[in-house]
Structure 1
């Protein structure tokens, strides 16, 4: 990228932006620059309309909303799954919109963790989001294994990233299952899913990925890569709303295997209301549903996924990389007098949708940024995540964010705050 750091250049980039029309689809607050879309995406007008549409069907049809109206609720998860499948590179029948990140992980471990002989361990990593590790630990305990011995964590060499060679080396003969993130929630490093899956396959180990920090910002080809399973939330880059329903993927080669955790919404739809004592699971990924889907929680996702279909994930990725490239350039040019470290990878094939800045005063710098109406994300112990989102952030947003940060550092405006996180960070 041209090393032009003027606001005029940022505006020129915005004029050339092929996705700029989508910015008007979102509720952007006046004078506030939102850089926390990797924690919670903003509300779009289409997502709002989707909620209103579902509410209207409840109002009009009552119980008959399950089979009537624009989006009958009984099939709503399947509708969303078909819309979401291209974002993970899967067949529509391999995806189901259901549950939450952690409940889906519990379901997938319960379904695919089959300790046998010496193969009793689950391989993960020390940089993964703790909720995944909590789920792995509890599943090991339920099987009668000590998590401290049977959850193997690949160590980071630098505290921010992992080397695929280290992960592959840890794929030992006693590993029964592997659970890894696609993108690390702190540094934004992308793992080489295809390479890791191939290595796991060669060692006869099942492997799955947490896509929470990649879906909606990074393209995937899960089916072609032969990944066994994946799971994700829909409230970050996919803008599905706080606590939005989650999603999971199961490779079609596993169809027909009974889910580890059974519930009636995992039934074959033609037989579900037979209410038989013995369950007949759905023939595809729908079998991994458990309870009745939260329709109101799922509603915003319809409008959001419409926009992703129109924009295209490849175009979104292209702009995302340009935005984070520009932010990296500005940080290097404008913040060189201050001890920030860019802990995100610079290589395009290694960097997700956000930039991770490390600074010993990170907690109170984030508080100062909010005072200056820039919304960042603090990650303990000393990280600032900034996520310029392709659908609603501009290059001028990026320019302003870095210059606000420069003002805060120059004036030492952060020093009036305590350098510790709030209850929610």
Structure 2
């Protein structure tokens, strides 16, 4: 693969115009958008609009101004719904992944008799497992006995057959990632959901590493619930508000954790001490919306609607394919191994490579103005985000990585992660 080859790919890229929407640093290659997406000018503008509404309208900002706050969560939910293949009323912008998991487990985890176990996996992000364990303990169960974690045969990927085999008649609920953070493997959501429902198991997915990177069909697949963050591929900013999906067959159900904004909008300010839950996914909100963490999404999601999630997925697959091919061409002699599945239908939006000195290599990359992502103990994650990473950027990143290895530039850094990896 030569530079002129990737330059031709950029010339044919109809999404290249969106790169200028984002604030990028000169001579820097940002490959960490699967941890924190870049700021777009539109997200900045909608945040400033909410600040201005606060400045001009004070308390009346809830109903007046350019972006009234009272219905902002519902509006963002409606804008997000096409990205997850849902009806607008099935989606709400609220909370964080962890708080939304707690909310939905409190609602849907209803152990009865022998059916009390929760099915998860051994590769999920720790926060999800923390939530599952604490919910089991709140019900008087022990995680050691009642949390089933499907094991990986290689430490990076899972087999759907192993997940399905673990679906015993003791399992009440399962929660799995759509895309595994360590390897970028995309699970077969439809297959897993169908198998679980055949066994009367409630199904939930964490879409943190898939929303905004690839299309979903949560309603069609009849997933019971899903959660996600928005600060990765959706570019809402650090600590940006999360989101959740609840299938319409469950709407009207009383939330397990009721709160001020669980209420029907028409009834909320009646100040009644008996909750009348919203008939939409809005019922699964708890507290007052975080307006300044929500407002950037109004601008960011505009970009997704203009670009189209199918087009973004097509480019993303080409970028990750190019990245994997270049790694094979240039880096295999230096003990790099690709942990991400090769098949298009099996991978998300980032590529994971392993190396015994991954931490020091990541430090060397940052020294060369390449921003990667390290995951202990030996994973380097590289995310060529379709909205703001070009094919030539991807080419340059691999050449810089090759230069680091050829000249042992990583050896000047310790092979230990920083406080934040």
Smaller-chain TM-score range?
A: over 0.9
Q: 1:354 aligns with which of 350, 354, 371?
A: 350
What is the deviation of 1:10?
Answer: 1.1
What is the deviation of 1:255?
Answer: 1.2
TM-score (ref. length: structure 1): 0.99
| 2:334 partner SS | coil
**2:161 aligned with 1:165:** yes
Q: 2:391 aligns with which of 387, 392, 395?
A: 395
TM-score (ref. length: structure 2): 1.00
In the alignment, the residues of structure 1 paired with residue 285 and residue 305 of structure 2 have an alpha-carbon distance, to the nearest angstrom, of 25
Partner of 1:305: 301
Partner of 1:145: 141
In the alignment, the residues of structure 2 paired with residue 327 and residue 157 of structure 1 have an alpha-carbon distance, to the nearest angstrom, of 25
Partner of 1:242: 238
What is the deviation of 1:256?
Answer: 1.7
| 1:117 partner SS | coil
**2:336 aligned with 1:331:** no
* Count of residue pairs brought into register by the alignment: 421
What is the deviation of 1:9?
Answer: 1.1
**2:405 aligned with 1:405:** no
Q: Counterparts in 2 of 1:119-158, with a 5 A limit?
A: 119-158=115-154
What is the deviation of 1:406?
Answer: 0.2
Unaligned runs of 5+ in 2: none
What is the deviation of 1:116?
Answer: 0.1
Partner of 2:34: 38
Q: 1:286 aligns with which of 282, 286, 306?
A: 282
Q: Write the deviation string for residues 313-359 of structure 1: whole angstroms up to 9, x where unpaired.
A: 00000000000000111111111321000000010000000000000
Partner of 2:68: 72
- What is the aligned-residue RMSD (CA, Å)? 0.5
Runs of 4+ in structure 1 off by over 4 angstroms are none
In the alignment, the residues of structure 1 paired with residue 325 and residue 185 of structure 2 have an alpha-carbon distance, to the nearest angstrom, of 18
| 1:17 partner SS | coil
In the alignment, the residues of structure 1 paired with residue 167 and residue 267 of structure 2 have an alpha-carbon distance, to the nearest angstrom, of 41
**2:90 aligned with 1:94:** yes
In the alignment, the residues of structure 1 paired with residue 23 and residue 325 of structure 2 have an alpha-carbon distance, to the nearest angstrom, of 28
Q: Write the deviation string for residues 230-278 of structure 1: whole angstroms up to 9, x where unpaired.
A: 0000000000100000000000000121100000101000000001010
Q: 2:339 aligns with which of 340, 343, 352?
A: 343
**2:142 aligned with 1:115:** no
Unaligned runs of 5+ in 1: none
In the alignment, the residues of structure 1 paired with residue 332 and residue 419 of structure 2 have an alpha-carbon distance, to the nearest angstrom, of 31
Q: Write the deviation string for residues 188-228 of structure 1: whole angstroms up to 9, x where unpaired.
A: 00000000000011001100000000000011000000000
In the alignment, the residues of structure 2 paired with residue 257 and residue 75 of structure 1 have an alpha-carbon distance, to the nearest angstrom, of 21
| 1:402 partner SS | helix
| 1:74 partner SS | coil
